[in-house]
Structure 1
Amino acid sequence: MERTENSPSQGFEVRRATRASKLAVLGLLLAAVVIASMPYWAGRDTLRDFTQIAAYLLFAMMWNLLAGYGGMVSIGQQAFFGIGGYAMLVLANYCGVSPFLAVPLGAGLAMLVAVPVSRIAFRLEGGYFAVGTWVIAEVFRLSVANVSALGGGSGTSLTALQGIPRSTRESLTLWLALAAVAGGIALLYWFLRARPGLALTAMRDNAAAASSQGVDVRRARLVVYLVAAGGTAFAGGLYFLGNLRISPDAAFSVNWTAFGIFIVLIGGLGTLEGPIIGALIFFLLNKFLSDYGTWYLIGLGIVAIVVALFFPQGIWGYLSRRFGLQLFPVGRRLVLGDPAAAEGLVPQRPAPAGRLPDSASVARSARDAA
């Protein structure tokens, strides 16, 4: 339940939830119920499509957390995508673990790998950090390609699913994908509303200023990097669980990060809603234009250019500013009004979303409104 602070005598109220956010929660719950029932009425292609959308969306949300909120622009997140896929395959094929359990376990292993990797990556800043993450991803790709037990450069198949009926496998994969998307959105929403989320935003805007105010910048970066690595690895394991085959070139391809950046930028960088919109747009373009060869890439480029020129803050950024919509509000709003408004006699006037003013500003605004 959303906490509301109010003072009827002074005529102001502090709110976090909006009407749009309440409707969004209801809509997402209904959508989750419909998606969960898809194995009973939808075709196999539809189930596979949702699994792919879930993998794209989860990857994009993790990249958005890393760059949009943490200020760490990486073009090497495919490293953890591939680690998640291969960890799932090794656990399932060679360790006897259920492939569906191997996906979250692979994400946990990727987070462990990310600890020493972060010590290397964090020595770099800005553009050097971005290029450095790409180099790290290439090191992982070349290393895996030289392991013959994993199929070498040509890859291998997920054989652990052979004893599972196809309908059962597809249903469990869909439900795992739905749980991953719902859990990812809930985790990020909770994280950004809590104190670490405020520290993360301060660190993104100005790391030196945040550090001077007591924010442990190094620890915050490490936490974000590990969470993004785990989420990206989960997306990789989920994708190759549905694909049934994995290869180094497919798992560690820089295209994954390119697609993630495309999704986030056209949807809205630094927003929770942006990757959802971007993932849907990207999937539709991928589904209907991929048969046209190079025209598919040209189409993606045109869309990216149009959005950059006319919607520099992304599609959701434009809609949010234009109509004042917030489906996942992470800040608080100050609603001002006179005593009559506090009693519901006249409409209240909402203040712009953002940081909560200090007590002096609240008192002054309330006195002016009265």
Structure 2
Amino acid sequence: MNLSTAPTHPEFDVIRGTRVSRAALGIGIALVLIAASLPFWGESSWMREFVEIACYFIFAMMWNLLAGYGGMVSIGQQAFFGFGGYVMLMLGNFAGINPFVAIPLGALAAGLVAIPVSFVAFRLSGGYFAIGTWVIAEVFRLSFANVSAVGGGSGTTLTALRGIDKATRESTTYWMALACVVAAIALVYLFLRSKRGLALLAIRDNEVAAESQGVPVARMKLAVYVVAAFGAGLAGALYFVGNLRISPDAAFSVNWSAFAIFMVVIGGIGRIEGPLVGALIFWALGKFFSDYGTWYLLGLGLLAVICTLFFKQGLWGYAQERWGLSIFPVRRQLVPRVRSPSRARPG
């Protein structure tokens, strides 16, 4: 039964939040306010690290929305990551638009281009869909590699920021990254708590059964695909504003999808907290162990294998199942209503 439309039983209440989630909301607001002041007292290296983590997190969250909640496993989301980055650069370098304004425009362009791309991708399913999205990303890469105006295969530099001093550029990029992270979490959370979120979960669990219950499967899958593309484009535009240089091999590398899969699997697929935990772990491993070369890559693979074997729901999923932790609860629960002593029946 759909709890969003079912009448509440007089002896039960519908609970959507938890004590942990309410405490996390207060802590989260405090952390965001403190983080917003970082450019006034922190070091520039801290801001650059945060922008990198933010891009990882947003991209992983969108992959989790697509695969973990929508059941569409893609290894070609880098197509929209790179497309958003290139649109941002072209708007900044050639159209005279401020690159920070061009970040959401690049994301919007990635979402729009996902509509015609979906006509091809949705003809495939299962493993064929995953491979097909990779092929589409390669088409994007080769296409931009043959455009001399953006540097061809060697790429080009974001020149639109030359007139802005380094401190202003870094602080603005940081604030944009913080705003994008907060917006991504809020939008995904509110979407999953809505009726459309319930429909998406029904499609993931059983597409045929969901359609038989009146869920518009094709329309919902397209909507999620476009939203995931928008988020990937947002992460790409933000990343290359901070990086100041873009190339087809960097923008459309399959490593982006591999990183997203790693972060989601480690943190916990099908959970909003999963990409956040996974992004922090992935960044920390890269920060402290990337100098070990191939041993670092072997360590990443070994960690993924261990989580797959012993923590099938990811590290956060394990913590959630064992201790009941849920910062972003999207499920509805029926709990017995506590009756006051004055209303209790005698004897």
Within 5 Å, give how 1:192-203 maps onto structure 2. Answer: 192-203=192-203
By how many angstroms is 1:341 displaced?
7.5
3-state SS, counterpart of residue 120 of structure 1: helix
**Where does residue 173 of structure 1 map in the other structure?**
173
Q: 1:159 to 1:338 in 2, by over 3 A?
A: closer
Unaligned runs of 5+ residues in structure 1 are 1-6, 345-369
Within 5 Å, give how 1:22-33 maps onto structure 2. Answer: 22-33=22-33
By how many angstroms is 1:215 displaced?
0.6
Rounded to whole Å, the distance in 2 between the matches of 1:101 and 1:163 is 15
Rounded to whole Å, the distance in 2 between the matches of 1:148 and 1:222 is 33
Asked whether the equivalents of residues 146 and 152 of structure 1 are also in contact (C-alpha less than 8 Å), the reply is yes
By how many angstroms is 1:235 displaced?
0.0
Rounded to whole Å, the distance in 1 between the matches of 2:342 and 2:187 is 34
Q: 1:184 to 1:343 in 2, by over 3 A?
A: farther
Q: Which segment is superposed worse, 195-204 or 23-32?
A: 23-32
Q: 1:343 to 1:330 in 2, by over 3 A?
A: farther
By how many angstroms is 1:339 displaced?
3.3
**Where does residue 89 of structure 2 map in the other structure?**
89
Rounded to whole Å, the distance in 2 between the matches of 1:54 and 1:172 is 14
Q: Which segment is superposed worse, 300-309 or 253-262?
A: 300-309
Rounded to whole Å, the distance in 2 between the matches of 1:79 and 1:91 is 18
Give the share of equivalent positions with the same residue, in percent. 62
TM-score by length of 2: 0.95
By how many angstroms is 1:12 displaced?
3.1
In the TM superposition, what whole-angstrom CA distance separates every residue of 1:293-340 from its partner, at most 9, and x where no partner exists?
A: 111111111111111111111011111110111111112222226635
Rounded to whole Å, the distance in 1 between the matches of 2:323 and 2:164 is 49
By how many angstroms is 1:13 displaced?
2.5
**Where does residue 297 of structure 1 map in the other structure?**
297
Q: 1:142 to 1:343 in 2, by over 3 A?
A: farther
Rounded to whole Å, the distance in 2 between the matches of 1:265 and 1:325 is 18
Rounded to whole Å, the distance in 2 between the matches of 1:216 and 1:10 is 32
Within 5 Å, give how 1:198-347 maps onto structure 2. Answer: 198-336=198-336, 339-340=339-340
Q: 1:11 to 1:37 in 2, by over 3 A?
A: same
Answering whether residue 161 of structure 2 is matched by residue 161 of structure 1, we say: yes
**Where does residue 18 of structure 1 map in the other structure?**
18
**Where does residue 146 of structure 1 map in the other structure?**
146
Q: 1:165 to 1:213 in 2, by over 3 A?
A: same
Q: 1:141 to 1:213 in 2, by over 3 A?
A: same
Rounded to whole Å, the distance in 2 between the matches of 1:36 and 1:10 is 45
**Where does residue 71 of structure 2 map in the other structure?**
71
Q: 1:311 to 1:342 in 2, by over 3 A?
A: farther
Asked whether the equivalents of residues 10 and 338 of structure 1 are also in contact (C-alpha less than 8 Å), the reply is no
Aligned residue identity for 2:73: V
Rounded to whole Å, the distance in 2 between the matches of 1:35 and 1:202 is 37
Rounded to whole Å, the distance in 1 between the matches of 2:213 and 2:232 is 31
Rounded to whole Å, the distance in 2 between the matches of 1:307 and 1:21 is 25
By how many angstroms is 1:79 displaced?
0.3
By how many angstroms is 1:10 displaced?
5.3
By how many angstroms is 1:14 displaced?
2.2
TM-score by length of 1: 0.89
Rounded to whole Å, the distance in 2 between the matches of 1:341 and 1:332 is 27
Rounded to whole Å, the distance in 1 between the matches of 2:92 and 2:278 is 32
**Where does residue 359 of structure 1 map in the other structure?**
none
Q: 1:61 to 1:341 in 2, by over 3 A?
A: farther
**Where does residue 100 of structure 1 map in the other structure?**
100
Unaligned runs of 5+ residues in structure 2 are 1-6
Q: 1:151 to 1:15 in 2, by over 3 A?
A: same
By how many angstroms is 1:28 displaced?
1.1
Rounded to whole Å, the distance in 2 between the matches of 1:184 and 1:10 is 37
**Where does residue 40 of structure 2 map in the other structure?**
40
**Where does residue 54 of structure 1 map in the other structure?**
54
3-state SS, counterpart of residue 335 of structure 2: strand
**Where does residue 350 of structure 1 map in the other structure?**
none
In the TM superposition, what whole-angstrom CA distance separates every residue of 1:126-183 from its partner, at most 9, and x where no partner exists?
A: 0000000000000000110011111011110000000001111111100100010000
RMSD: 1.9
